[in-house]
Amino acid sequence: MPEVVSQVVPDAAAADVLTRYAEFLATAGVERGLIGPREVPRLWDRHVLNCAVVTPLVAAGAKVIDVGSGAGLPGVVWAIVREDITVTCLEPLQRRAVFLEEAVTMLGLQDRVVVVRARAEDIVRGRGPVTSLRSSVVTARAVAPLERLAGWTVPLLSPGGTLLALKGQSAAEEVSLASATLERLGVVEVDIVECGLGVVDPPTIVVRARTAA
């Protein structure tokens, strides 16, 4: 566990759980193809801490939906770091959903994390086994360009909710291309936030979009 973890997760018990999760990613996550073998040496900086540094943007007591959760990044990480929030990991692929369920059970997060096997697009369109899901915060990491992602995520927000989309260096360009879509979907405020300065390099870039209350 890197020394900087204590800067992000001052609670020792939570840091230990985060370490167990990282170990699970580095073993079962690689074996099942959720994490590439080349990612293991940079697992903490590029993936775990990259997600953890965003948690100050999450409102206290928030209900979070992690769209396309995959291996649980950022949803599982956020639930470990922030004991005051609840997280729905939305993942359509069975092997990933099974991995998530195993991780949640192993880490003792069953009371605050639920895994839902469904596509966000289907929920938005009222199709499939889950036809209604809303929360105060929706997040996604490495899922799709913002213009497409907005259509799958913003409709899942409750009034006055916040989308926290973890992006890369193209964030500003994506916001520009998605501006008309965001406005049509009811987004009233958008900004770009750099998280984890001095902790992760490069810092995590987040597009934060808020809907009308």
| In contact, 17 and 106? CB cutoff 8 Å | no
% of residues, the chain, pLDDT over 90: 87
Would the pLDDT of 129 be above 80? no
Tell me what the mean pLDDT of segment 112-140 comes to.
Answer: 90
Average pLDDT for the chain: 94
The reply to whether CATH 3.40.50.360 applies to domain 5-211 is no
Would the pLDDT of 1 be above 90? no
Token pair in block for residue 151: 């259509």
Domain ranges of the chain: 5-211
pLDDT score, position 172: 96
Q: What is the pLDDT of residues 56-109, one digit of tens each?
A: 999 999 999 999 999 999 999 999 999 999 999 999 999 999 999 999 999 999
SS3 per-residue string spanning 157-201: EEEEEEEEEEECCCHHHHHHHHHHHHHHCCEEEEEEEEECCCCCC
pLDDT score, position 146: 96
Report how far residue 76's alpha carbon sits from residue 74's, in angstroms, rounded to the nearest whole number. 6
Tell me what the mean pLDDT of segment 122-146 comes to.
Answer: 88
Tell me what the mean pLDDT of segment 41-64 comes to.
Answer: 96
Would the pLDDT of 132 be above 90? no
What's the length of the chain?
A: 213
Would the pLDDT of 52 be above 90? yes
Would the pLDDT of 2 be above 80? no
Q: How confident is the model at residue 22 (pLDDT cuts 50, 70, 90)?
A: very high
Q: What is the pLDDT of residues 197-208, one digit of tens each?
A: 999 999 999 999
pTM of the model as a whole: 0.95
